[in-house]
Amino acid sequence: MKDNRRDFIKKSTAAVVLSVVGIGSATADLLNLNDSKDVIKSEAAPINLKKNEWPITEVPGLPKLCMVISPRATVDEMRQMKQLGIDHVHMGGGSIPWKVEELRILQDRFKVEGLTIINLMMGGFQNVILGKEGRDEEIEKVKESLRAAGAVGIPVVEYNFYVDRLMDGYYEVKGRGGAGMTAFKAPEKDLPPKPNNGTLDDKTLWNNLTYFLKAVIPVAEKAGVRMALHPNDPPVPVSHGSAQIIATFKDWKRLLDLVDSPSNGMTFDCGVSREMGEDPLEVLRYLGSKDRVNHIHYRNVTVEESYKKYAEVFYDQGQVNMFAIMQEIIKQGYKFGINPEHPRALDYDKEHPRGITTWKMYPGGGGYAGEAYDVGYTRAMMQAVLSL
């Protein structure tokens, strides 16, 4: 009788905690609140984690915190990431086609310092985007690159599909203590097209993207690689005369319908979701329900006018519920990379300008100290969810 009473109290207490933090019964099973088994199991992926066992570390079945790094990074720069507890990195993959031997050499450089490449950014197929002569040759290079990534075990290849990214609207504003914030305001009038790009309407770009995906996604599937399309950011409808076709949630849904495959997925960005005026949690749930979240950018914003005016802020200051986002990520059994990105510009970084990322290309963008804050906050969110 005492054991039964004890179990009742234990389960009742857990139920109260769940109701307070907003976790459903499915998540409770995943987080091991309803039983005392040592192994947590979900339909998405097994998580080998004992209940409330500390320290909570990154294990198979959990998301992998990762950071952007140059493929030419020095040993000191790699050590800086390891000191933050980062084990996974993503970077630009260089010119296509990628070769198996070259990717293995690249992997080995980072493995020596305990870093695993989880995502490579691919570019170099502008003729595909513009629909120009030579696009079929570029598609063959993309296919070869996907096969090479799969052969060496790189699970995700990220890419963009825009004619031009509107960088003109970014500016710096001051946040707490004078820290730099990256703000954006869309120009009142669209800007002239850039040389060699011309102007492309949305119908043309959708046709070009469809042509591309139908050619490469079957190859990615066979290679065991997931492709992650990064949404337009900033999510304005037109940039320098050309449409931006991944700038609304409706666009994101349309993308997934072009080719029905987990290899045809997205980079989920909770900041961009909020910039579009959407509920990031609902966006994540939709993408996750179709198993199309192939990479994650984790950041926060405050939005004054959807699509047009917003600021990138410290994670604890923005309008995105970062804890709820992390809960959903864990609930889905997501196991690829989470990049705590867009660090704020702290005075320390201004006084010590050496950095390990390119965030300082943005007005109000920070360096290593800002990244340390972002990584620490993100890991704390993950550990808080897993500790419930």
In a 13 Å sphere around the CA of 93, the CA atoms on its Cβ side amount to 28
Whole-angstrom Cα distance, residue 267 to residue 229?
A: 6
* Mean pLDDT split into 10-residue runs, the chain, 388 residues: 45 40 39 33 45 71 93 94 96 97 98 98 97 97 98 98 92 96 93 88 98 98 98 95 97 98 98 98 98 98 97 98 98 96 92 66 89 96 91
The b/e string for 121-157 (b: 16+ C-beta within 10 A; e otherwise) is bbebbebbbbbeeebeebbebbbbbbbbbbbbebbbb
Is omega for the bond preceding 187 within 30 degrees of 0, making it cis? Answer: no
Q: Give pLDDT, residue 37.
A: 30
Q: How many residues can be counted in the chain?
A: 388
Cβ(78)–Cβ(68) below 8 Å: no
Query: Is the C-alpha dihedral spanning 108, 114, 115, 118 positive or negative?
Result: positive
Which residues, including other chains, have CB under 8 Å from residue 101's CB and lie 6 or more apart?
A: none
Residues 347-371 have pLDDT tens digits of: 998 888 765 555 667 899 999 999 9
Q: Give pLDDT, residue 211.
A: 98
Q: Give pLDDT, residue 360.
A: 67
Q: Give pLDDT, residue 61.
A: 81
Q: Give pLDDT, residue 58.
A: 66
Residues 115-146 have pLDDT tens digits of: 999 999 999 999 999 999 999 999 999 999 99
Q: Return the amino acid letter for 384.
A: A
Residue with tokens 């969810």: 385
* Tokens matching residue 343: 């660090």
Domain ranges across the chain: 58-387
Q: Give pLDDT, residue 17.
A: 36
Q: Which CATH superfamily is domain 58-387 in?
A: Divalent-metal-dependent TIM barrel enzymes (3.20.20.150)
Which contiguous run of DSSP H or E holds residue 305?
strand 300-305
* Tokens matching residue 123: 């570019």
